[in-house]
Structure 1
Amino acid sequence: MCRRRHFSFRTEEAYIHWIKRFIFFHQKRHPNLMGVSEVEAFLNHLAVDRYCSASTQTQALNALVFLYQEVLANPLGNMKGLQRVQQRHRVPVVLSISEVKKILDNMNGTCQLIAQLIYGAGLRVNECLGLRVKDIDFETGSLSVRDGKGGKDRTTLLAKQLFVPLQKHLVKVAQIHQTDLNRGAGFAAMPGALYKKYPMASRSLAWQYVFPSSVLRDWSQGQMKVRWHMSDSTIQKAFKLALRHAKIEKHASIHTLRHSFATHLLSAGTDIRTIQLLLGHRSLQTTMIYTHVIEATKSVISPFDNL
């Protein structure tokens, strides 16, 4: 049912996770034998006993509503006893320009290039790792993000300083691809059933991932050997190590570079609507959170300094 609706793989994983947790919480009873009261008991357990966040409880609720409404065709009624976790509005952690430079200087190789792209284009980690060779346009200085969050496509900017290192990296990608072709592999995993419609395209360089995995894997029931993109855990670990070496005491992750991209553009006077388009936010309210970051860091003089 998730795949019929073209949900992302992460959404599918999350829904299956919460449905399993729900079933195990009720001693492996079948969901058909349960209803609103059991769903409320599970969600209240997450809120009261597990101290989960509002977004976690909402994700679990969405998974169970989807299960009963779409899979079991038995929609849940009104949940009057549901204890919702209060939503907290938090300002995202943002790195200064000098801090970003320190972190990037403490990285090297492919991980450094990925981090530079994420900061330079405001990409999510999976959006960056999911880039194909055909998605990079050096002529216009832009990147095409395919199937981003919410299944949306968008275009964002490509920093001019990354042209040369990215072109050198793509030469290595082409060499890896040629080696795979010589071994009878060289296929790229394509969305949907495009590999059936365009069988030759899946072996072209254009469809290869910009940041390929180091190993070949079976795909399409073992009929093809494909090279997926590298794991996001690799870049996460490299970023954490660079953060420690740069001696920056902030609770930051690789995603913080995306927050920093938006905040630094806003500080430079870029229109908030333009930033929304570059980030791929559906609502302008989501992008407006970065205005709070700017307001919190304005050069306001404390009255204590005037004593």
Structure 2
Amino acid sequence: MDGQPRLLDQVREQIRLRHYSIRTERVYCEWVKRFIRFPRYRHPVEMGAAEVEAFLSDLAVRGNVSASTQNQALSALLFLYKQVLKLELAWLGEVVRAKKPSRLPVVLSIQEVQQILAQLQGEIWLMASLLYGSGMRLMEVVRLRVKDVDFGRKEIIVRDGKGMKDRVTILPQRLVEPLKQHLQLVRATHNAELRAERGDVYLPDALARKYPRAPWEWAWQYVFPAAALSIDPRSGKTRRHHFDEKRIQRHFKLAVRAADIEKLATPHTLRHSFATHLLGSGQDIRTVQELLGHSDVKTTMIYTHVLNRGRLGVLSPLDRA
């Protein structure tokens, strides 16, 4: 229709109204484009359950994607129909999500964690240590703001975690001084940028409107800023973004290899190890649930399956002989 914004622009607008991340925006837009191209460029209004199921089946059969990727595509399409096109269609609730296989998480021993951390240096070491010491997710660490680190209480407030929920986790005592020293360097860089009439940081639109000076304030700066300035893809402004999470992933992979550890460990493995080691030390499972930000304790229970002593503390009959 004349004067009607392009479909992808409408998708972006609705995503930004809900303050979803730029990563979600890119992923959802890419799935919408692939869905439109799949039946030879038909508008989603002209399609229904049959086309959605055919698209998802094609992803699984021909694309050989995982269940989580297939469900991500479905989430993007549900968002398109419900939030963008405003279509309350009966078949939306009938589309079946792919069932994820039930797998135990990869967990490192305390010694293996120490061996990997010993291969890392500088801010990469500090971020990896936070992943293990606090149980935060990778993106939660790189998006951490100065104001959310409480040295007095030795706590970290995780803002907009998974499910857009806030939670509180622990700041390890061993990281207090290294983190303070790191922040001194970050603040020196920030002060230099303020003198150069820069130094603002990204804030969601609602916050930026409510606190127009906040983007330049020290409290709102990233704890782990990027080394160089970059262009914000949404606003077009040149500013310093947070640290690139891909750099951590690359360095961690090299560290695992250098430590001669054969497990398929990633930075997220440190979060799994955090939970398992706390439970192994006798920590209450409800406390671990809160630190991880799990909505259901059943999600946290999976770590009881990978404890060294076994879920029920079972001793093999061979070891009793």
| TM-score normalised by structure 1 residue count | 0.92
Which residue of 39, 44, 48 corresponds with 1:35? 48
Counterpart-to-counterpart distance in 2, 1:83 and 1:204: 47
User: Which deviates the most, 10-19 or 248-257?
Assistant: 10-19
Which residue of 196, 204, 214 corresponds with 1:201? 214
Which residue of 110, 126, 130 corresponds with 1:113? 126
Counterpart-to-counterpart distance in 1, 2:94 and 2:208: 49
Which residue of 101, 104, 109 corresponds with 1:96? 109
**Residue 253 of structure 2 corresponds to residue 236 of structure 1:** no
Shift in Å, 1:295: 7.0
Q: SS of the residue aligned with 2:205?
A: coil
Shift in Å, 1:14: 2.5
AA matched with 2:248: I
Residues 131, 210 of structure 1: 8 Å contact kept: yes
AA matched with 2:135: G
**Residue 285 of structure 2 corresponds to residue 267 of structure 1:** no
Shift in Å, 1:74: 2.9
Number of residue-to-residue matches in the alignment: 306
Of all paired residues, the percent bearing the same amino acid is: 51
Counterpart-to-counterpart distance in 2, 1:84 and 1:246: 39
Which residue of 196, 199, 215 corresponds with 1:183? 196
**Residue 19 of structure 2 corresponds to residue 6 of structure 1:** yes
Counterpart-to-counterpart distance in 1, 2:97 and 2:243: 38
Q: SS of the residue aligned with 2:169?
A: strand
**Deviations, residues 270-292 of structure 1 (Å, cap 9, x unaligned):** 11111111011111111111111
Which residue of 43, 59, 64 corresponds with 1:51? 64
User: Which deviates the most, 199-208 or 134-143?
Assistant: 199-208
Structure 2: tracts of 5 or more residues without a match = 1-13
| TM-score normalised by structure 2 residue count | 0.88
Counterpart-to-counterpart distance in 2, 1:296 and 1:47: 38
Shift in Å, 1:196: 3.4
Q: Which residue of 2 aligns with 1:282?
A: 295
User: Which deviates the most, 27-36 or 204-213?
Assistant: 27-36
Counterpart-to-counterpart distance in 2, 1:68 and 1:195: 29
AA matched with 2:146: V
Compute the RMSD of aligned alpha carbons: 2.3
Which residue of 265, 268, 272 corresponds with 1:255? 268
Residues 186, 225 of structure 1: 8 Å contact kept: no
Shift in Å, 1:191: 2.3
Shift in Å, 1:301: 4.6
Which residue of 42, 64, 68 corresponds with 2:77? 64
Residues 93, 251 of structure 1: 8 Å contact kept: yes
Q: SS of the residue aligned with 2:228?
A: coil
Counterpart-to-counterpart distance in 2, 1:80 and 1:260: 37
AA matched with 2:223: V
Q: Which residue of 1 aligns with 2:3?
A: none
AA matched with 1:159: P
